[in-house]
């Protein structure tokens, strides 16, 4: 399974605060996301503001992409939502 992450700024999701980012699995683009709670709890986001979430994502994008890759490999090519609980279990 070939998984890549395009170099794009994640999109802020205001309704249920999160950041959406693309993954490409075997040539198919998927929208993945990480919740504001996960970014606050595990990656140091100071608040749920777009700026704070983006800063935390940028500082830890490698770890976020590794987690996303692991889930995609285990579950197959489907959109992934990373919640805080995932990182608690992974620690």
What is the per-residue pLDDT across 46-91, written as a single tens digit (0 to 9) for each?
A: 999 999 999 999 999 999 999 999 999 999 999 999 999 988 776 6
Instruction: Report which secondary-structure segment, H or E, holds 61.
Output: helix 50-75
Q: Would you say the pTM of this structure is higher than 0.75?
A: yes
Per-domain boundaries in the chain: 3-90
State CA 67 to chain mean position distance. 8
pLDDT score recorded for residue 89 = 74
Fold annotation for 3-90: Double Stranded RNA Binding Domain (3.30.160)
pLDDT score recorded for residue 77 = 92
Tell me what percent of the chain is helix, strand and coil, each rounded to the nearest 5.
45, 25, 30
d(CA 11, CA 75): 24
Q: Which one, of 90, 77, 75, lies nearest residue 23 by Cα? A: 77
């Amino acid at each position: 399974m070939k998984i890549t992450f395009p170099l794009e700024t994640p999109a802020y999701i205001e309704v249920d605060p999160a950041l959406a980012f693309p993954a490409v699995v075997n040539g198919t683009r998927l929208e993945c996301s990480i919740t504001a709670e996960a970014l606050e709890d595990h990656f140091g986001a100071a608040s749920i503001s777009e700026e704070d979430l983006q800063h935390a994502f940028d500082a830890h994008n490698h770890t976020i992409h590794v987690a996303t890759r692991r889930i995609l490999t285990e579950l197959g090519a489907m959109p992934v939502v990373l919640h805080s609980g995932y990182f608690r279990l992974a620690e």
